[in-house]
Amino acid sequence: MTILVTGAAGFIGYHVANALLMRGERVVGIDNFDPYYSVALKRDRIAELARHNAFSLEEMDISVPEAVEALVSRYGDAAATIHLAAQPGVRTAELNPYSYIAANLAGQLTVLEVARRLKGLRHTVYATTSAVYGASPHRPFSLDDRADQPISLYGATKRGAEMIAASYAAQYGLALTGLRFFTVYGPWGRPDMATWKFTDAIAHGAPLTLYDDGNMTRSFTYIDDIVAGVLAALDRVPSEGAHKLYNLGNDKSESVRRYLAVLEQAIGRKAVISVEPRHKADMQDTVADISVTERELGWRPRVDIDEGLPRFVEWYRDYTKGK
């Protein structure tokens, strides 16, 4: 079947699109190649996907209304959409807040408008984030938590996207599933995230910034586990008018300090560390309650950081060789 994947040039989008192609689906990747981070890296991901005959690319900005007409007119046979395009980054939202509103809210609206107009579309799965939990005092983060105290604009826009989805499911009878991702890492990852930044700094003997002396904890989740969860959600189509939410994250948290230590061991070199206070948009701790996800999707993470981080380092060395 034909599946639309927005953000296909992104980290998670690339891996999801590749997994769909490997299982025999036709994939239409949609991306605008936003320069928030390396466009060359995004092009390299797309080049890997283009090795498959069943992959095609639509280079467009889904935050503009014209995208609705373009997608509806060209892909009337689409059976599902996986919406992974977003403006990421918790700390950088203060630098260009309007881009977060456009990508994360207007982009969500475009995808839902396409969903309600494509009569053969059975299911829309979209990415949201653990950042929606914000200042919630509860640990682990549960789907029962109100998620109405985001401490970052990024988290607020993604929570807003969830509410828009709930309204469209109720009003138009759409089958929608939102997946709250928790700190995803792995090969082909984003260079603005800690895994790549730490690895690059250690490899070059450059100083790296460790916020709060590495005492923050995160529900680090390996990309292969995330992909397995996305596909499990895609294949479990809710009833018409249902809006489902699931946590996709590790139910065991790790401190950033230990995360760094595992990277140091994998690289074979100690980090040069500069300590700074925790950024006001950063959450102190995240850990996922995945009881509902495990019960309904049969999913739980399998790769811990002791296995996943060396895999990233191996990929990083191969990718950056000669660059």
The string of pLDDT tens digits covering residues 281-301 is 899 999 999 999 999 999 999
To the nearest 10°, the Cα dihedral for 185, 191, 195, 201? 170
Q: Would you call 35 exposed, middle or buried from its count of C-beta atoms within 10 A (0-12, 13-18, 19+)?
A: exposed
> Can you give the pLDDT at residue 91?
84
Residue 252 pLDDT greater than 80, yes or no: yes
Q: Is the whole model's pTM more than 0.85, yes or no?
A: yes
Residues 6+ apart with CB under 8 A from 305: 220, 254, 258, 259, 262
> Can you give the pLDDT at residue 280?
85
What value does the CA radius of gyration of the chain take, rounded to a whole number of Å?
A: 19
Residue 9 pLDDT greater than 90, yes or no: yes
The string of pLDDT tens digits covering residues 48-70 is 999 999 999 999 999 999 999 99
Q: Would you call 106 exposed, middle or buried from its count of C-beta atoms within 10 A (0-12, 13-18, 19+)?
A: middle
Tokens (6 digits) for 229:
């969860």
**What is the maximum alpha-carbon separation in the chain?**
56
Q: What is the mean pLDDT of residues 166-187?
A: 98
> Can you give the pLDDT at residue 210?
95
> Can you give the pLDDT at residue 84?
98
> Can you give the pLDDT at residue 211?
95
Residue 242 pLDDT greater than 80, yes or no: yes
- Name the band, by pLDDT with cuts 50, 70 and 90, for residue 24: very high
Residue 322 pLDDT greater than 80, yes or no: no
Give the rounded percent of residues in the chain with a pLDDT score beyond 90.
94
The CATH architecture of the domain made up of 2-185+220-249+287-302 is 3-Layer(aba) Sandwich (3.40)
> Can you give the pLDDT at residue 261?
98
* Nearest in space to 6 (alpha carbons), one of 159, 97, 124: 124
Q: What is the mean pLDDT of residues 176-196?
A: 97
> Can you give the pLDDT at residue 90?
86
Q: Would you say 307 and 266 are in contact if contact means Cβ atoms under 8 Å apart?
A: no
d(CA 322, CA 198): 19
> Can you give the pLDDT at residue 281?
82
Percentages helix, strand, coil for the chain, rounded to the nearest 5? 45, 20, 35
Average pLDDT, whole number, for the chain?
Answer: 96
Helices (H) and strands (E) in the chain — how many of each? 11, 13
- Name the band, by pLDDT with cuts 50, 70 and 90, for residue 18: very high
Q: What is the DSSP string of 291-314?
A: HHHHHHH-------HHHHHHHHHH
Q: Would you say 297 and 178 are in contact if contact means Cβ atoms under 8 Å apart?
A: no
Catalytic residue among 14, 133, 154, 259: 154
* Nearest in space to 111 (alpha carbons), one of 164, 156, 147, 159: 164
> Can you give the pLDDT at residue 95?
87
> Can you give the pLDDT at residue 89?
86
What is the end-to-end Cα distance of the chain in Å, rounded? 38
> Can you give the pLDDT at residue 124?
98
Q: What is the mean pLDDT of residues 10-24?
A: 98
Q: What is the DSSP string of 152-200?
A: SHHHHHHHHHHHHHHHHHHHH---EEEEEE--EE-TT--TTSHHHHHHH
154 noted as active-site residue? yes
Dihedrals φ, ψ of 294, to 5°? -65, -40
The string of pLDDT tens digits covering residues 213-237 is 999 999 999 999 999 999 999 999 9
Residue 172 pLDDT greater than 80, yes or no: yes
Which sequence spans correspond to the domains of the chain?
A: 2-185+220-249+287-302
> Can you give the pLDDT at residue 310?
98
Q: Would you say 169 and 162 are in contact if contact means Cβ atoms under 8 Å apart?
A: no
